[in-house]
Structure 1
Amino acid sequence: MKTLVVADQPYLNQYLATRPGECKVGEQLQLLPQGELSGGLAKLAKKGIRFVLLGVPEDIGPRANLGRGGADKGWAAFLSRFVNLQQNDFIRANEIALLGHIHCDDLQQQSKSLELNNDDDLATIRQHVGTLDQRLAPVIKTIVEQGLYPIVIGGGHNNAFPILQGTSQAKGTAISAINLDPHTDFRALEGRHSGNGFNYAAEQGYLGRYFSLGMHELKNSAANIASLNSKHFPFISYQQIYVRREMTLAQALQDAQCYLSDGNKPIGVELDVDSISFMPASAYTNAGVDLADAQFYVHAMASIEQSCYLHLAEGAPIQHPAGIDAGNSDVGQGLSALVASFIQAKQEIGE
């Protein structure tokens, strides 16, 4: 069973729209040379590649959490916008590789007929999420071992677990992570789904420090918060920043950076797009942060030397109230803006 669908030129061309007199990001992206993954990535690293784009087109994780589907379309929406951004002095696209996506079609198909109000079927789809974990973690490990930054586009937030696992195994240590998300994703260890990736990672020793940023005080159960507290993982809530105005987002990020940097470990940068107002997502909201604040968060965290990956989860174009076309546009633009913010920070654009 293949686990990785490697991008080639036709794969890229289906999203790329060239124009005379212009150079698009997609025209500068590098593709994996033929051969095995580790050797191909090593060749790319020698050519100056720093960032690796990887998609996980699935929605079994959110559905296994009894949530809405549609996150399987986030990767395509992202590519359709990102590869058509302008290549200019504000981004060095020749440092970016398009790797491809994790093979998810079989798991998606096998989950279609499951009735998730049935305990046996719910257990089955959660087993499928575990299978996906086993496909993604080794790919992440291989990318990180080559000294490259994985930029992972989901897919559900269940994929935080295998990303943390693969990164931890490559680095040889438990790592730290920050998550901009109205949910802590610290649900019970009840079988894998999008709501418990960080809890599983902490339980299995891959996650040493975790900061939950922008968690919504009324969208997390008492048990979830108690589980977070039992690990002594801090949080700053959405209400603290935006409702009670106890601090600014910049001040909250300073607190987070101090906590994470004290651990002296690699830092994963996580963002659930359902934290962003009006962004089509598995859990759509009209009371979240705006996209500019989300970009500021990503840029600020990417500016820290220890930050080692970006994971954007839960973009679901079909959840747009105006339909799939509007959803593809909004999700594609939003994810592209966030990825560009990460890359520009690492490339020290504007500094």
Structure 2
Amino acid sequence: MENLIRFRQSDLSKMTAFRNGEVKFGEKMLITPKDEDIFEFLKNSEAKYVLLGIPEDVGVRANLGRGGANTAWESAIKSIANIQHNRFCKGSQIIVLGQVDTSQEMEAAKNLDENIPEERKQLFKITEQIDKEVSHIIYNIVKAGKIPIVIGGGHNNAYGNIKGTALGKGKSINAVNFDAHSDFRILEGRHSGNGFSYAFEEGFLKNYFIFGLHESYTSKNVLDIIKNISERVKYNTYDQIKIRQEKNYQSEINKAFEHIKNECYGVEIDLDALPNIASSAMTLSGFSVEELRQFVYQFGNHKNASYLHICEGAPSLGEEKNNHLIGKLIGYLVTDFIKGNSNL
């Protein structure tokens, strides 16, 4: 797999805090041996899950958002390495593949100003290049019979996840998105606000459910688009569930599940749906961490759950003394998904 920086055993050892009488994930997770073909190793391994980082924020900037999503992977893998390996969840179920090599794209985007139309178009093109790299790696993971757990980057990477999984499965897939935003904006050039609309338009995404839209931040245009394809694209709003209490949280999870469960599906998590979490579109109003954890566990608990993507977290935008907390939150979500899924 090109454009992949493989994780090494020494990388895991550096970030694992070893203690007598304890066994951490960092001591049990697998890495791909440098002298072995990655695809063959994945295919033959008994581990079910493959961790992949995407350290980029080009798509977020192309969508006129704040950068910083490139820092989530490093924070997350440090936290995951120090989770306790025990009977509740075992590190040996996980292969740490590594990270997409986005260094060239990040360098090319570094000095571009997204507020200048011509330079924003260049960011669209760079995001397209990241799409190709992500979809290729995801395709290989899925083709090898594994479940990708993708961490970091902007929500533009939903496109690569969906495309890669659909190609690996040989058919279009469904997706559920826990998000304050639809990411179903117009096809104006690739960015973090239209990953799902591009995947839908190109036939990789079949049914789509957006869970917890914020009514004040969803345009009339997007609502009109969704209304015209409401058999395949459905949603509820955060305001309906938590503010006006017209709908029940668990009932809405069940409804979303009914919409996607009959085909392979991806679970997409945008951390900007949680209040006070450092992200590109940080909010003060949103679902709780516990509600999100329940969501991830329940959607992981089905044989058609085909990948998990946790995006938009930006530790570099958080408090300096507590920027490890984004990684710790991601660690909880990863293990919640695995606990729901591992015995299927």
Give the TM-score taking structure 1 as reference length: 0.95
Aligned to 1:111: 109
Deviation at 1:224, TM superposition (A): 1.4
- Asked whether the equivalents of residues 156 and 195 of structure 2 are also in contact (C-alpha less than 8 Å), the reply is yes
Aligned to 1:219: 217
- Asked whether the equivalents of residues 284 and 319 of structure 1 are also in contact (C-alpha less than 8 Å), the reply is no
What is the CA–CA distance in structure 2 between the aligned matches of 1:175 and 1:161, rounded to whole Å? Answer: 12
Q: Deviation digits for residues 105-142 of structure 1, max 9, x if unmatched?
A: 11111111112121111011110000001111111011
SS at match of 1:18: coil
**2:344 matched to 1:346?**
no
Aligned to 2:37: 36
- Give the aligned residue type for 1:342: F
Identity %: 35
Q: Deviation digits for residues 204-238 of structure 1, max 9, x if unmatched?
A: 00000000000111111111122222222110100
Aligned residues: 341
* Equivalent position to 1:52, from 32, 50, 60: 50
Aligned to 2:273: 275
* Equivalent position to 2:327, from 327, 332, 337: 332
SS at match of 1:130: helix
- Asked whether the equivalents of residues 278 and 313 of structure 2 are also in contact (C-alpha less than 8 Å), the reply is yes
Q: How does 1:121-160 map to 2 (within 5 A)?
A: 121-160=119-158
What is the CA–CA distance in structure 1 between the aligned matches of 2:172 and 2:71, rounded to whole Å? Answer: 31
- Give the aligned residue type for 1:274: D
SS at match of 2:156: helix
Aligned to 1:304: 302
What is the CA–CA distance in structure 1 between the aligned matches of 2:42 and 2:343, rounded to whole Å? Answer: 23
What is the CA–CA distance in structure 1 between the aligned matches of 2:228 and 2:120, rounded to whole Å? Answer: 28
Worse overlay, 275-284 or 222-231: 222-231
Worse overlay, 204-213 or 226-235: 226-235
What is the CA–CA distance in structure 2 between the aligned matches of 1:123 and 1:135, rounded to whole Å? Answer: 19
Q: Deviation digits for residues 295-348 of structure 1, max 9, x if unmatched?
A: 00000101122111000010101222x33x412x22011111111100111124
SS at match of 1:218: helix
- Asked whether the equivalents of residues 279 and 330 of structure 1 are also in contact (C-alpha less than 8 Å), the reply is no
What is the CA–CA distance in structure 1 between the aligned matches of 2:25 and 2:287, rounded to whole Å? Answer: 28
SS at match of 2:322: helix
What is the aligned-residue RMSD (CA, Å)?
1.3
* Equivalent position to 1:285, from 255, 272, 283: 283
Q: Deviation digits for residues 48-80 of structure 1, max 9, x if unmatched?
A: 110000000000010010000000000001011
- Asked whether the equivalents of residues 63 and 192 of structure 2 are also in contact (C-alpha less than 8 Å), the reply is yes
- Asked whether the equivalents of residues 13 and 27 of structure 2 are also in contact (C-alpha less than 8 Å), the reply is no
- Give the aligned residue type for 1:110: A
- Give the aligned residue type for 2:286: G
Aligned to 1:90: 88
What is the CA–CA distance in structure 1 between the aligned matches of 2:126 and 2:14, rounded to whole Å? Answer: 29
Unpaired segments of 5 or more residues in structure 1? none
